[in-house]
């Protein structure tokens, strides 16, 4: 069970997510202006498939992490030694002498998108998070979005069950399926609804609705 600090860290990550969405929605109109200045004929489909603000999952994590760090800096002494790390392989080699070392799989090298830890303690992570960013290339590469999400959820469930992290969060920013494939988007939403009902994994999700609204003007 998560302690009070871990619960507050999860709330802070949700706050960072909301700040990212505010940033995205505020800046989307600027990208529309760039399109109008640089493309003789603004083609709706091409504009929809273009990356606005985030080019890939790494960019998404950068923005969320940036806002998370800003919120963290505003906190008091209790949060002074808390750090955010990205793209870490959760292996015995990387986490030697941590309290959960004996629960790590020596044969697998699961990579976690984000972990939040007390920098000078070898106890459980305060939080572990996975993120997915879907865009037009996701379809071109033949990815099944549900299977991609399932893989992340399974990873978070294992981390939670093994008591490696006190809290786990899944984040999804859909910049493709919700406007290009309504059926698949509905399947994604239904799957995430099911995860949320379980109440073990916090789910944060949004779409690029503001971008498409700008394109449609």
Is pLDDT above 70 for 39? no
Burial 1-39 (b: 16+ CB within 10 A, else e): ebeebbebbbebbeebbebbbeebbeebeebbeebeeee
Helix H, strand E, coil C: the string for 135-150 is CHHHHHCCCCHHHHHH
| Domain residue spans of the chain | 4-216
Is pLDDT above 60 for 40? no
| pLDDT computed for residue 141 by the predictor | 66
Mean pLDDT of the chain: 89
What mean pLDDT comes out for the span 34-49? Answer: 69
| pLDDT computed for residue 41 by the predictor | 57
Tens digit of each residue's pLDDT (9 = 90 or more) over 81-137: 899 999 999 999 999 889 998 998 887 888 999 999 998 889 999 999 999 999 887
Strand 111-118: give its sheet, edge to edge: 82-89, 111-118, 127-134, 168-174, 202-207
Tens digit of each residue's pLDDT (9 = 90 or more) over 178-194: 999 999 999 999 999 99
């Amino acid at each position: 069970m998560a302690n009070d600090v871990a619960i507050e860290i999860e709330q802070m990550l949700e706050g960072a997510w909301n700040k990212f969405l505010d940033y995205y929605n505020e800046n989307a109109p600027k990208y529309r202006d760039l399109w109008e200045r640089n493309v003789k004929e603004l083609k709706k489909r091409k504009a929809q498939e273009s990356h606005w603000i985030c080019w890939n999952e790494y960019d998404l994590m950068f923005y969320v992490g940036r806002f998370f760090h800003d919120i963290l800096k505003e906190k008091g002494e209790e949060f002074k030694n808390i750090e955010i790390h990205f793209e870490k392989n959760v292996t015995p080699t990387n986490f030697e002498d941590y309290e959960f070392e004996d629960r790590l799989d020596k044969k697998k090298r699961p990579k976690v998108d984000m972990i939040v830890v007390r920098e000078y303690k070898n106890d459980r992570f305060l939080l572990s998070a996975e993120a997915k960013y879907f865009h037009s290339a996701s379809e071109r590469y033949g990815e099944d979005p549900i299977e991609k999400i399932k893989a992340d959820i399974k990873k978070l469930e294992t981390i939670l069950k093994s008591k490696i992290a006190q809290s786990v969060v899944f984040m999804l920013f859909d910049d493709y399926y919700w406007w290009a494939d309504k059926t698949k988007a509905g399947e994604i939403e239904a799957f995430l609804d099911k995860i949320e009902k379980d109440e073990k994994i916090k789910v944060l999700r949004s779409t690029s609705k503001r971008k498409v609204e700008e394109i449609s003007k």
